[in-house]
């Protein structure tokens, strides 16, 4: 595969799991990387998503995408979701389904159903099926609450914080173990929407020789999508106890530093940034996560940007590079 270099250093031993792995929100960025790593590591996996849109996964897996078992299901439909997941007899669930910040602001009730009720459904399935390995995506946005702190509060963050407390109750009342991971700002191939996708879009713009301006500058968490994916996978490679929440950070570097690395790869790059701070913390301590689940690969900003730029150039040469989002 033309883009195998993106995940060559992230593959894992297939004896880490004694059964398939279910991945919800399969159409999303991190999920695409999770599914790619699992597939290339020869670990059976089931992709679950609201639609059959596999565009992001196809960027990474190409023609191998049709080898992924993909089921269409609304995460809020408990009965159908339960039948799909339990029939697969999974050893682990990686729950990544959710609506992001702008969509929650646009439709708060739907955001609550997908982000909160959807997570409750996953925990309920884990309880009934006695699944001992469940990890769910929380978010750095949860740190925006309680309000009047240093970071921006959002409905999305409120929903994610609710999920963390819900998971604690599922452990204390029914001994359903779980890990919640709060990824900081993710970048890399397939990261194409949301307020925090702008650094990825700048890399893409440079590869396409287009002008692009990142609407903020200063210190920033550069969390490579592949590193985020392998952290989620590593967190469920053994049975869990308790309910835990951990931060997942990238490398704390400035936007300006990232732009300088991009410009080293493309001397003609017409990319810039605006003098405005990003409203979320740039540097979180994720050593507790590594201490709890075991170490996993770290990808430097330089390596991550090089990989992403090379991927966009490869896709461009193959005629399958996505159009540049706003």
In the structure, what pLDDT confidence band is assigned to residue 278 with cuts at 50, 70 and 90? confident
Give residue 14's pLDDT: 82
Q: How many angstroms separate the CA atoms of 314 and 190, rounded?
A: 14
For the chain, give the mean pLDDT: 95
Considering the four listed CATH numbers 3.40.50.720, 3.30.70.20, 3.40.50.980, 3.40.50.300, the one that applies to the domain covering 4-186+224-251+282-299 is 3.40.50.720
Query: How far is C-alpha 249 from the chain's CA centre?
Result: 12
Q: What is the pTM of this model?
A: 0.96
**Percent of the chain whose predicted confidence (pLDDT) is above 90:** 88
Give residue 200's pLDDT: 97
- Pick from 162, 123, 161, 112: which is nearest to 139 by CA? 161
Query: Do the beta carbons of residue 271 and residue 262 sit within 8 Å?
Result: yes
Q: Is the pLDDT of residue 147 over 70?
A: no
Q: Among 40-49, 146-155, 261-270, 284-293, which is the least confidently predicted range?
A: 146-155
In the structure, what pLDDT confidence band is assigned to residue 146 with cuts at 50, 70 and 90? low
Q: Is the pLDDT of residue 116 over 90?
A: yes
Q: Is the pLDDT of residue 130 over 80?
A: yes
Give residue 232's pLDDT: 98
Q: Is the pLDDT of residue 148 over 70?
A: no
Q: Where are the domains of the chain?
A: 4-186+224-251+282-299
Query: Do the beta carbons of residue 32 and residue 60 sit within 8 Å?
Result: yes
Give residue 293's pLDDT: 97
- Pick from 161, 298, 175: which is nearest to 240 by CA? 175
Give residue 281's pLDDT: 85
- Pick from 177, 297, 305, 172: which is nearest to 242 by CA? 177
In the structure, what pLDDT confidence band is assigned to residue 143 with cuts at 50, 70 and 90? confident
Task: Tell me the per-residue pLDDT of 43-66, one tens digit each, with 9 for 90 and over.
Answer: 999 999 999 999 999 999 999 999
Q: Is the pLDDT of residue 1 over 80?
A: no
Give residue 101's pLDDT: 87
């Amino acid at each position: 595969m033309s883009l195998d270099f993106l995940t060559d250093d992230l593959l894992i031993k297939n004896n880490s799991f004694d059964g398939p792995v279910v991945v919800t929100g399969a159409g999303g960025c991190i999920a695409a990387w999770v599914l790619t790593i699992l597939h290339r590591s020869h670990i059976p996996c089931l992709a679950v998503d609201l639609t059959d849109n596999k565009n992001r996964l196809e960027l990474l897996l190409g023609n191998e995408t049709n080898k992924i078992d993909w089921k269409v299901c609304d995460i809020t439909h408990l009965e159908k979701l339960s039948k799909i997941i339990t029939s697969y007899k999974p050893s682990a669930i990686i729950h990544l389904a959710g609506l992001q910040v702008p969509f929650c602001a646009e439709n708060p009730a739907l955001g609550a159903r997908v982000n909160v009720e959807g997570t409750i459904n996953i925990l309920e399935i884990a309880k009934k099926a006695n699944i001992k390995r469940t990890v769910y995506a929380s978010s750095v946005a949860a740190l925006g609450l309680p309000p009047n702190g240093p970071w921006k509060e959002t409905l999305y963050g409120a929903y994610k914080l609710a999920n963390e407390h819900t998971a604690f109750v599922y452990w204390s009342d029914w001994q359903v173990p779980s890990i919640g991971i709060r990824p900081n700002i993710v970048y890399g191939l397939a990261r194409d929407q949301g307020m925090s996708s702008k650094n990825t879009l700048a890399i893409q713009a440079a590869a396409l020789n287009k002008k692009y301006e990142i609407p903020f500058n200063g210190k920033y968490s550069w969390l490579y999508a592949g590193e985020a994916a392998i952290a989620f996978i590593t967190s469920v490679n053994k049975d869990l106890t308790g309910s835990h929440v951990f931060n997942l950070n990238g490398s704390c570097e400035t936007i300006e530093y990232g732009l300088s690395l991009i410009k080293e790869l493309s001397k003609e790059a017409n990319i810039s940034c605006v003098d405005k701070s990003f409203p979320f913390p740039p540097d979180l301590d994720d050593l507790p996560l590594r201490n709890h689940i075991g170490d996993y690969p770290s990808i430097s900003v330089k390596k991550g940007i090089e990989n992403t730029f090379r991927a966009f150039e490869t896709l461009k040469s193959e005629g399958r590079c996505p159009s540049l989002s706003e």
